Each structure stands twice: as C-alpha cells, then as structure tokens.
Copies of this chain bind each other. A is one copy, B any other.
C-alpha cells in the first residue's frame, strides 16, 4: 500500500516516542507530561522529537489515532459490507477504547479525543461505502460517512452517560436496523423485508 519504504531509523524513533508517551500516560495525566519527559523516557534527543512531531498535541493526535486504529482492526473491515455485525463491532471498539482512555485521565482533552475518534470512524465508513459501490456521488458518500461517524460517536457518549452497565452490543443493536435500512436503499436493493 505505502509504496515508498520509510527509513528504518524513522520507524524506530517514532515507536520509541509513541511507546514512551503511552507509558508516561499511564503514570500521570496529559497536562503534566512534557516533551522533555517523553524524550528522556525514550532516550532520544529533544530536537529529534520536533523532527517527527509539530508539538505534543500532534503526538497526542497521532498516538491516539494509532491506538484507535489497532482497536478497530481497520484492515479487517476493508473487505466486508456495512452490516449489523460490523457496526456492532466498531461500536464495541469505540466504547472499549474510551474506557481504556478514561483510566488514563486525559482530563481537559475530551474534545481533541472526540475529534480524533470521529475522524477515524469517518475514514473507515467512507472506505467501506466506496467498496460497496453505492450509486450515489462521492460527495453524498462523504456526507453519509460524516453522519455515521458522528452518530456512532454520539451513541457512545450517550452510553457512557447512562448505560455503562449495559453491554455495548446490547445497547447499540436495537438502533442498527434503522440505520442499515437507510444505507442499503439505493445500493444492492437487499433491503430487509
């Protein structure tokens, strides 16, 4: 997929930084983590950090994206259709991811995290919609992906607020038929009778 091989030094250093950041995140909250802390933990030079990331927020962004992508097992969804099972799995991944974050006390950065999650969801949904060869134009697919990402994220917020006792899959399942039927219309005509 990524045609040009990246320098192994870059991969090594990025991993060192990411791992150190995640390690530090489990020790103290984000606002108390400095770039110096990270580079000390990673045993790299501070200047090298700025070679790879704009600042610590850029690192936060990319680190969270990566963790979320692992949770979502993105490649796994490349080949399947947008059905109930997939939506349930993604919802489980999102709630699971958020629970793991709340243990790490990223207080005051919920907005950033929310944006990152939605962006990642949007990317995934857009890919899947494209794969399904829907007839609508690309702009329509994009907007659909946006709405799905916001919708799913919103559901996770609602779940966290009221229903953490309920299993995520049981929480989301009742709503899915309404979503799915809308999507399926206009594509394969496999609307559930």
Residues of A within 8 A of B (CB): 8, 12, 43-45
Contact = CB atoms under 8 A, between A and B. Distances in A.
Contact of A43 (B8, B43, B44, B45): B8
Contacts of A8: 43-45
A117 B8 CA distance: 36
A24 to B, nearest CB: 19
Contacts of A43: 8, 12
A45 B8 CA distance: 9
Nearest to A8: B43
4 contacts: A8-B43, A8-B44, A8-B45, A12-B43
A43 B44 CA distance: 18
A43 B15 CA distance: 13
A31 B8 CA distance: 28
